[in-house]
Amino acid sequence: MYKNVIFDLDGTLLNTLEDLAGAANWVCALHGWPVHTVEEFKYFVGNGAPKLLERVAPAGTELTEELRRQTLEEFTLRYNAHKSDKTTAYPGVPEVVRRLKEAGVVLAVLSNKPHEAAQPVVERYYPGLFHRVQGALPGLPVKPDPTLLRRLMEELGASPADTLFVGDSNVDIRTAKNGGLAGCGVLWGFRTRQELEGEGADYVAEDAQELAELILR
């Protein structure tokens, strides 16, 4: 049994894709850029908002520092106003998180979503279930860099040997490896088994029940 489990947020705990796509496409429309399908956003998200906006910009766009700042501000305002329009928890996941907490597992979230957005959205859909929620902070590198992961583990009193990192993308599996943890990919999110196994996932869970059994065995 793993004593500590750290979850990714978008694509793992919450299906946020349509709200992220809506905010990013709103920015695209403001600047006269082509908009993108929701399906395309499965491969745009995962590395934080600045990288998302870089990916939606048309090829050849000169992304000056001023334009990066402006589009990030526009995206943040739009997303914060609409971040719960279509976002939902994945089926069965809140029940499994509750079961893990009741079993005494220490639970945390590490997201590339800005910290001020990550905390309230987790509390809205998973009230009182996580010991700590850590989002991206200004001036610090985001996943897969292990800086915030290590800080979070220190706050939890967690060691790599008894901690599992759970996420839906190659970024999450790489984060686990960079932090010296086992990594579990989940298949209900944005990416594929092929990607997760190709990145070297220690485990891949088809559904929430399989994830619970893996953690508690």
Predicted local distance difference test score (pLDDT) of residue 174: 98
Provide the β-strand partners of residue 204. Answer: 185
The string of DSSP letters for 49-87 reads: HHHHHHHHSPTT----HHHHHHHHHHHHHHHHHHTTSS-
Catalytic sites, residue numbers: 8
Claim: this prediction has a pTM higher than 0.85:
yes
Query: Rounded distance, CA 91 to CA 43, Å?
Result: 22
- Per-position DSSP letters for 111-160, written without gaps between them: EEEEHHHHHHHHHHHSTT--SEEEEE-TTSPPTTSSHHHHHHHHHHT--G
What integer pLDDT is reported at residue 156 of this predicted model? 97
pLDDT at 125: 97
Instruction: Take residue 150 and report the two structure tokens written for it.
Output: 């290590």
Residue 10 pLDDT: 97
pLDDT of residue 157: 97
Amino acid 152: pLDDT? 98
Per-residue pLDDT, 46: 94
Are the beta carbons of 142 and 148 closer than 8 angstroms?
A: yes
Give the Cβ contact number of residue 111 at 10 Å. 27
C-alpha R_g of the chain: 17
Position 184 scores a pLDDT of 98
What are the chain's domains?
Answer: 4-15+87-216 (3.40.50.1000), 17-82 (1.10.150)
Rounded Cα–Cα distance for residues 30 and 33 (Å): 8
Distance CA(120)–CA(129), nearest Å, equals 13
Rounded percentage of the chain residues whose pLDDT exceeds 90: 99
pLDDT of residue 27: 98
Give me the residues of the chain with pLDDT under 70, please.
none
Alpha carbon dihedral 44, 78, 115, 65, in 10-degree steps, equals 70
* Stretch (H or E) spanning 205: strand 203-205
Distance in angstroms (rounded) separating the CA atoms of residues 217 and 214? 6
